[in-house]
C-alpha cells in the first residue's frame, strides 16, 4: 500500500477563522469480507486511527472501520490561531503508517 495522499487547506486564514481541512488517502480499506481470485479471504486492513495536529494540539482524531469507503476522504475543521504546520498522520491494521502536512499562514 503506497502512502499516497492529498491534503488541502487554505494557504492563509484570519486569526480565529474556522478553516476546512480535506484529506484523501489511497487505501483499499479492506473489509475482511472479500476473497481473492484463489478464493482466499483477504484480511481486514483499514486505516484505524488518524490524527490531526496543529499548534501543539491534537485538534481532530478519527477511528475508522470497514464502514468507511475505500480511498477514504475526510473533511473537518480547525480554528486558525498561529501560523504553522497542520500535520496529519495515520496507521492501518497492518501497522503501515502514513502522513501529510501543509502550512497554514495566519495573519
Partner 1 sequence: MKRRPFLGLLAALIPLANIRNASAQNFLPPQDLRPFIDKLTGGAPVRAGRVTMEMPAIAENGNSIPFTLRVTSPMTRADHVKSVHIFAPRNPRPQVATFHFDPHAGKAEVTTRVRLAGTQKIIAIAALSDGSFWSGEVNIVVTAAACLDEALG
Partner 2 sequence: MRRFREYSLLVLLCAMPFAFAQTNPPKPGNDFQSRENRALEADDFANPGMLWVEQGAKLWRETRGDAKKSCATCHGDAKQSLRGVAAGYPKHDAKADRVLNLDQRINLCASENQKAAAFPHESRELLSLSTYVAHQSKGQPIKVRVDGDAKPAYERGKSLYFQRIGQMNLACTHCHDQSWGKTLLAESISQGQPDGWPAYRLEWQTQGSLQRRLRACFFGVRAEQPAFGSEDLVALELYLAKRAEGLTLNAPGVRR
Residues that bind partner 1 (CB under 8 A): 18-19, 29, 31, 33-37, 54-55, 57-70, 72-79, 81
Q: Least distance from C-beta 67 to partner 2, angstroms?
A: 13
Residue 3, classed as helix, strand or coil, is: coil
Cell numbers given for 30:
479492506
Residue 92, classed as helix, strand or coil, is: strand
Q: Least distance from C-beta 15 to partner 2, angstroms?
A: 25
DSSP-assigned letter for residue 11: S
Q: Least distance from C-beta 8 to partner 2, angstroms?
A: 5
Q: Which of 10, 12, 15, 22 binds partner 2 (CB under 8 A)?
A: 22
- Of 11-19, 65-73, 85-93, 94-102: span binding partner 2 (CB under 8 A): 65-73
Cell numbers given for 78:
480547525
- Neighbour-count burial of 36, counting CB atoms closer than 10 A to its CB (0-12 exposed, 13-18 middle, 19+ buried): exposed
Amino acid at each position: 500500500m503506497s502512502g499516497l495522499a492529498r491534503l488541502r487547506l487554505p494557504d492563509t486564514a484570519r486569526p480565529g477563522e474556522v478553516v476546512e481541512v480535506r484529506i484523501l488517502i489511497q487505501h483499499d480499506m479492506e473489509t475482511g469480507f472479500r476473497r481473492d481470485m484463489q478464493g482466499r479471504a483477504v484480511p481486514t486492513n483499514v486505516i484505524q486511527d488518524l490524527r490531526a495536529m496543529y499548534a501543539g494540539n491534537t485538534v481532530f482524531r478519527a477511528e475508522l472501520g470497514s464502514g468507511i469507503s475505500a480511498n477514504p476522504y475526510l473533511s473537518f475543521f480547525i480554528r486558525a490561531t498561529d501560523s504553522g504546520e497542520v500535520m496529519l498522520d495515520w496507521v492501518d491494521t497492518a501497522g503501515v503508517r502514513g502522513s501529510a502536512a501543509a502550512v497554514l499562514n495566519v495573519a
